[in-house]
């Protein structure tokens, strides 16, 4: 596990009791990553997951904002 992943994981675990939606990297096909993005709204979850992809997977802003990427995230979001 990378340090950034760990930090994200800890941050989101701490604030998880107030969160409504979640999206895990595993659900998106990243089997080796245990990052879970959470948020009060689906929009927030997507923003968190986009941030994770930019920092951990070194994806560009355009890549994480692409229609395909956003659709894939929306399709996999779960209500907690």
**Tokens found for residue 47:** 């923003």
Stretch that binds Zn ion, among 7-15, 25-33, 43-51, 64-72 (CB under 5 A): 25-33
Whether 26 and 33 have beta carbons less than 8 Å apart is answered as yes
Q: Does 25 bind Zn ion (CB under 5 A)?
A: yes
Cα distance between the two ends of the chain: 24
**Tokens found for residue 34:** 């245990």
Pick between residue 23 and residue 25 the one whose CB is nearest to Zn ion.
Answer: 25
Minimal distance, residue 73 CB to Zn ion, in Å: 12
What does the binding site for Zn ion look like in residue numbers (CB under 5 A)?
Answer: 25, 30, 33, 35
């Amino acid at each position: 596990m990378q340090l950034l992943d760990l930090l994200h994981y800890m941050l989101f675990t701490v604030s998880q009791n107030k969160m409504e939606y979640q999206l895990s990297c595993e659900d998106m096909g990243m089997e080796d990553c245990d990052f879970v993005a959470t948020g009060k709204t689906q929009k927030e979850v997507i923003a968190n997951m986009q941030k994770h992809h930019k920092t951990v997977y070194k994806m560009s802003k355009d890549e994480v904002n692409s229609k395909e990427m956003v659709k894939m995230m929306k399709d996999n979001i779960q209500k907690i």
